[in-house]
Structure 1
Amino acid sequence: MPATPSPRFPLTRLRRTRATPWSRRLVRETTLTTDDLIWPVFVTGADRNEPVASLPGVERLTVENAVYAATEAAELGIPAIALFPQTPNDRRTARAEEALNPDNLVNTATRRIKAAVPNIGVITDVALDPYTDHGHDGLMDGERILNDETVEVLRAQALVQAEAGSDMVAPSDMMDGRVNAIREELDKNGHHGVQIMAYAAKYASCYYGPFRDAVGSGAKLSGDKRTYQMDPANTDEALREVALDIREGADSVIVKPGLPYLDIVRRVKERFAVPTYAYQVSGEYAMLVHAAQAGAFDLDAVMLETLMCFKRAGCDGIWTYFAPQAARLIDGV
């Protein structure tokens, strides 16, 4: 039923409720808290942290420093961190064998973090692009991405991550059927409590460039990812993708990128009412930082406004490289 119209001016003065801080707080519809933040962290096998040139303020962390980052996140009240590796070139292959190594960077960091900070959630990326020598998320036959063969590797990758202590696996590859295969594999091996957060609506976006630099796959990528990531022109297709992932056992879903795709977040949340997240991707982060450095606006203010927009659109949480900075501002630390 439509809302009853307010009386006309001057009986109604909407500025009355905006006039003071206490009143604005009382009528505020959307709240941003540290509980809404997931911190993506890059891990390197180098002996020191490495700055990511295209992501100002972001570094690839050694395993030891990833543990410190997890400790920092827990102290700030951030519920979870998400790990992404920069796999050394000599361990990248066409078949992505390093993804199944129980002692690869992600699995080693996961074990170390869970031992030191058991109450932080650790999310691990299930995809092959950090491990392939061609930069794609799947196995290839010539120029063709092999869906079903890739799913079998993803199934095994998710299992080794769970065995290392991952609390939540996040398949970001966009292969058909991978959520069902991963859920079956986890349950078959007793990992009933490991959650799946599916990248259900991941678009073939230009915004991923700095991330690919961070994990070392950008320079290796031949062609593009349009045969498996979604067309930015489509919205109904996103709903079909989300519906399939939920049926296959996803506990939550991600829309990626974030801010340019908040219409997708809104449609997903309204249609399915499942835990729905967005990834404020590397290009979004870099644009805000570079614009602030150029004097366009105050970074802290625009960061919090942008994160609030994610929440207002329906996000239950946001993956953001700003997580520690945002947590300090939100809680006044």
Structure 2
Amino acid sequence: MSLSFTRHRRLRQSAAIRSMVRETVLTPADFIQPIYVTYGEGVKQDIKSMPGVYRFSLDMLEEELLEIVSLNIPAVLLFGIPETKDSVGSSAYADNGIVQEATRLIKSRYPDLLVIADTCLCEFTDHGHCGMVHTYEHDGELCGDVLNDESLELLVKTAVSQAQAGADIIAPSNMMDGFVQAIRGGLDEAGFSHIPIMSYSVKYASAFYGPFREAAGSAPQFGDRKTYQMDPANAREALREAESDVLEGADMLMVKPSLSYLDVMRTLKDQFDLPLVAYNVSGEYAMVKAAALNGWIDEKAMVLEILTSMKRAGADMIITYSAKDAAKWLQDGGR
């Protein structure tokens, strides 16, 4: 019998063939591991909504760093939980701030491990917003407006202090208009023209951030962040945000979250030639962990499939709380 259809299954007949023709390949070099650092001694505190993720005091970082380096993960993303907060987030740009101290420690012990400093104010302000606010009462409730241009000055101070502490990459996540231009100018003026900016270019006002806000203690005390983070319904707006960052001097673009925004990632990859970063955020991690702990899914298979989808959509780097697990699984043969 003569058959005319194409036999696609020929290239799926064995693991060896599938491996040879695989179009998208994950490696530990693709990953960036987030780390939460805090004050105190002997602190390795569980984050209940993110099993396997912890807050570390500086004296407890060594074991975590050693594991990250041994797994050939090239970079960490630092988030800090300060001792005190105020209305202008002064701990974010203090010379002895927790992110600055952690950066110095990491670079002294593991100079080849890239330190990426998250540059925002929300963890450091007593109101939980990503910039300065003008507060007022309305119908007996506290309200506030986030002040864009005034916030830029504080973000520049934060970025410069992080660079002075030894950060290899500055990653501003605040979504203020003009933040890349302001930070680029501030870094250049302070003698850090060689420090790249990994911009949170397309950051949505997402429900997937809930566990992070527990981990970092950064939930807004009033209102929400919808006036500066993007509407999840919008895709074309992402192009405008990214184009602004490109023109202002960003070296890398990011889409956050990633799993529900793979279409946006693909669009940015097709439109711009800068490296693209995916942020596999806390809520995405928590969903998988919860299902795995209930025995409903194969965690290894699902995590690797999710991360592969992000790389297939165009990501050159992936920030993920699963970095260590994924690196171990890949070393053991992956799928």
TM-score range normalised by the length of the shorter chain: over 0.9
| Aligned counterpart for 1:118 among listed residues 108, 111, 115 | 111
Residue in structure 2 matched with residue 207 of structure 1 by the alignment:
208
Residue in structure 2 matched with residue 217 of structure 1 by the alignment:
218
For normalisation by structure 1, the TM-score amounts to 0.94
* RMSD, aligned CA: 1.3
| Aligned counterpart for 1:42 among listed residues 32, 36, 40 | 36
Q: Is contact 1:252–1:276 with CA below 8 Å preserved after alignment?
A: yes
Q: How does 1:170-319 map to 2 (within 5 A)?
A: 170-218=171-219, 220-319=220-319
- Alignment partners' CA distance in 2, 1:295 and 1:23: 31
Q: Is contact 1:40–1:84 with CA below 8 Å preserved after alignment?
A: yes
Residue in structure 1 matched with residue 140 of structure 2 by the alignment:
none
Counterpart check, 1:62 vs 2:73: no
Shift in CA distance, 68/195, structure 1 to aligned 2, threshold 3 Å: farther
| Aligned counterpart for 1:17 among listed residues 11, 24, 31 | 11
Equivalenced residue count is: 323
- Alignment partners' CA distance in 2, 1:74 and 1:248: 33
Instruction: Identify unmatched segments of 5+ residues in structure 2.
Output: 136-143
Residue in structure 2 matched with residue 325 of structure 1 by the alignment:
325
Counterpart check, 1:26 vs 2:50: no
- Alignment partners' CA distance in 1, 2:105 and 2:246: 31
Residue in structure 2 matched with residue 104 of structure 1 by the alignment:
97
> 1:105-158 CA deviation, whole Å, 9 max, x = no partner?
100000000000000000001110010001100100121100000000000100
Residue in structure 2 matched with residue 127 of structure 1 by the alignment:
120
> 1:49-96 CA deviation, whole Å, 9 max, x = no partner?
1111111111101112334323322221111000001123xx100111
- Alignment partners' CA distance in 2, 1:253 and 1:9: 48
- Alignment partners' CA distance in 2, 1:226 and 1:332: 42
The one-letter amino acid paired with 1:167 is D
Residue in structure 1 matched with residue 77 of structure 2 by the alignment:
82
Shift of residue 9, structure 1, vs aligned partner: 5.2
Shift of residue 10, structure 1, vs aligned partner: 4.5
- Alignment partners' CA distance in 2, 1:237 and 1:22: 43
Q: Is contact 1:209–1:282 with CA below 8 Å preserved after alignment?
A: yes
- Identical residues among aligned pairs (%): 46
- Alignment partners' CA distance in 1, 2:298 and 2:15: 21
Q: Is contact 1:44–1:60 with CA below 8 Å preserved after alignment?
A: yes
For normalisation by structure 2, the TM-score amounts to 0.94
- Alignment partners' CA distance in 1, 2:123 and 2:272: 31
> 1:187-228 CA deviation, whole Å, 9 max, x = no partner?
11211221100000000001101101001122x531100000
- Alignment partners' CA distance in 1, 2:254 and 2:3: 43
Residue in structure 2 matched with residue 146 of structure 1 by the alignment:
147
The one-letter amino acid paired with 1:97 is S
